[in-house]
Amino acid sequence: MATSRWRLDLAYDGAAFNGFALQPDQPTVVGALRAAIARSLRLSEAPFLVGAGRTDAGVHAIAQVVSLDLPEGALAPAGVTSFLRSLNGQLRGEIVVTRALATHEGFNARHSAQWRAYRYLVAPAPRLASSAAFAWSVEGPLDEAAMNEAASLILGTHDFRAFCKRPADKGPGEALVRRVDDASWTRRPDEMSLSVSGEDFLVFSIRAKAFCHNMVRRLTSTLVAVGQGHLAPAEISRRLASLSGVGLPAPAPAAGLCLVGVGYEVLDGGPAGRWRE
């Protein structure tokens, strides 16, 4: 059967799913999306989806991208609007598909991506329980300058074994090399009065071609410890050199993390989301 390659851009509430990737008998983003696509297009078999990145349980996204093959003619360009309406009606706001784009057969949401960008949101304590759905509430004050000094030390190419959960298919001696292109902390005013104190939120923004498992959350918790004065900024360099994460803080909570951008060439439809503002 002839097929055509499609790209879907989507956002989702990570609290509703046990992660992005398909898991038997578990609610996942891929599982829900495959089922909705099959129903919308009356397919006999749900399509195989390739994602730009695998987010953990509880992690959100406003700019995830998937690629898939559909039977030729199953979704004519004139039917894109009704297709999106059908998908989003079924997914009830837990997933929102923002774009459906016919693309070329060489496009692969994972391998064609030039970069991924994440945002981690830290809220001032005390907090309402509802804020735990999107931010990590941290006792302050936090030294933003020290946190940025420490964040600058992860820029470039390093073996991030000290800050990653080792994949099951990797031996203990295998390197986990990644290149970080940008990483910094900024303050954002609480313009919507979401915090009890009214203090600024702190936002950690990080961009790299790829990340290893738990890398952003482990870096975030370590950088927050620097901001609290529990660790010196130079501890980042020491841990990168030693390759050991023993004694470092546990990963920051999943709910504060959001995939906010994925970079693609113009031929592939251009970037999803945005990097910075």
b/e per residue 166-176 (b: at least 16 CB within 10 A): eeeeeeeeeeb
Identify the H or E element spanning 148: helix 144-152
Cα 31 from Cα 56, distance rounded (Å): 14
Identity of the amino acid at 96:
V
In this structure, are strands 177-188 and 156-159 parallel, antiparallel, or unpaired? antiparallel
Cα 256 from Cα 254, distance rounded (Å): 6
* Integer angstrom CA distances of residue 260 from 26, 155, 209: 24, 19, 14
Q: Is 176 helix (H, G, I), strand (E, B) or coil?
A: coil
Identify the H or E element spanning 11: strand 3-12
Residues labelled as active-site residues: 56
Neighbouring residues of 155: CB distance < 8 A, sequence distance ≥ 6? 180, 181, 182, 183
Q: Which residues pair with 50 in a beta bridge?
A: 67
Collect contacts of 32-38 with beta carbons under 8 A, ≥24 apart: 32/91, 32/94, 32/95, 33/8, 33/66, 33/87, 33/91, 33/95, 33/97, 36/86, 36/87, 36/90, 36/91, 36/95, 37/68, 37/87
Q: Which residues pair with 101 in a beta bridge?
A: 7
